[in-house]
Chains A and B, each alone.
Chain A
Amino acid sequence: MYEEDQIKPDFGKHPQNPFRTPDSYFESLEDRIMGNINEKSKKQSSIKKIIRLMKPVLALAASFALIFMLVYSPIHDFLLKDSVQTTETETTNTDSLNDFSINLASMDENSLINAIFSDDTNIFTDSDQDDFLAYLSSGLNEVDIYSEIQN
């Protein structure tokens, strides 16, 4: 469709080169190009040297990082679960002790004395008895509590 001979630009003038170069530009071109190439080669070889020296250090650092991640993650998860459970138990104990101390504070003197010297063992409900014991033992350590029970 587009034959070479048929495509002749109708500019009316023969193409000439309107561009020029600085004087002696081409004469020194080889030296400048080889100078650039040698400079770049030197830079590349020093970069390669640095990478070669750093490789074992980087490999060691990467190994430590991997070991740390493999060990840290499960330990962290385990410790996290344990602290959540302990917090929940302490919260429960503190709440029941607070309730019982409020109950005691609301009792008048006569009722408290009657409660202490009464033969009626059913003054407190079972849950109240447990709470009462917990309240009394709140100031005791485990050894003291064991001794009280045994006696």
Chain B
Amino acid sequence: MTDDLKILESLKDPSTKELAFRHLISKYKERLYWHIRKIVLNHDDTDDVLQNSFIKIWNGIDGFRAESSLFTWLYRIATNESITFLNLRKRKSMSGLNDESQYLIDNLESDTYFDGDAWQQLLQKAIATLPEKQRLVFNMKYFDEIKYEEMSQILETSVGALKASYHHAVKKVEEYVKSHETRIEP
């Protein structure tokens, strides 16, 4: 029996549910953390979203039907929570849809836990200017190297549409980096 199946079995028993859930958190916390971090950029926001995601997972674990893999399901919850978080911040700040990029860039610049050099900051700014779906696809493909088939289950989008999104995202990021590269101090 795979580890995920063992975890799921233990989660069904009320006497072992908490221990099994701790094991689940240990196994997936870092992967989910970095996935969320690339979406919301700021560490404190990531911590909030990660906590909310695991609470949602705890509440919904009894209804998990294993139609997809456990990781796919966890990843999907984390993605949706990240998007919900950003939408909420957008509404609270009363800014328009176009200002999400600026919010993310401001978040990046104010984050004390960003250690990247000028080029890496430029790359992150380029990614921040992408539309939401393209940004998700780009991060999952370029940084996490997730296969399109798995990404399709996480984002509930066809493989063809994901490939098109990634293609357009790469082009936009390349253009942004090249047009702003000369401004980076050596």
A32 touches B142 (CB 8 A): no
Query: With an 8 A cutoff between CB atoms, is A85 at the interface?
Result: no
How distant is B167 from chain A, measured CB to nearest CB, in Å?
4
Question: Residue A9 contacts which of B22, B37, B50, B142 (CB distance < 8 angstroms)?
Answer: B142
Interface residue SS majority, chain A: loop
> In the complex, which residues of chain B have a beta carbon less than 8 angstroms from the beta carbon of A13?
119
Query: With an 8 A cutoff between CB atoms, is B75 at the interface?
Result: no
Leading 9 A-B pairs by shortest Cβ distance:
A18-B116, A2-B163, A18-B120, A2-B167, A30-B25, A33-B54, A30-B22, A9-B170, A20-B113
Chain B interfacial positions (CB closer than 8 Å to A):
18, 21-22, 25-26, 29-30, 33-34, 37-38, 41, 43, 47, 50-51, 54-55, 58, 111, 113-117, 119-121, 123-124, 142-143, 148, 160, 163-164, 166-167, 170, 173-174, 177
Query: With an 8 A cutoff between CB atoms, is A73 at the interface?
Result: no
* Given A2-B164, A16-B120, A26-B33, A37 and B55 contact (CB-CB distance below 8 Å): yes
Q: Give the A interface residue count (CB, 8 A).
A: 27
> In the complex, which residues of chain A have a beta carbon less than 8 angstroms from the beta carbon of B117?
18
Chain A interfacial positions (CB closer than 8 Å to B):
1-4, 7, 9-11, 13, 15-22, 25-26, 29-30, 32-34, 36-37, 40
How distant is A89 from chain B, measured CB to nearest CB, in Å?
64
> In the complex, which residues of chain B have a beta carbon less than 8 angstroms from the beta carbon of A21?
33, 43, 113
Complex: chain A residue closest to B43, CB-CB: A21
The 17 listed contacts between A and B (C-beta, < 8 Å) are A2-B160, A3-B163, A7-B167, A7-B170, A9-B173, A10-B174, A11-B177, A13-B119, A16-B120, A18-B121, A19-B114, A21-B113, A22-B43, A26-B30, A29-B29, A36-B51, A36-B55
> In the complex, which residues of chain B have a beta carbon less than 8 angstroms from the beta carbon of A2?
160, 163-164, 166-167
Complex: chain A residue closest to B168, CB-CB: A2
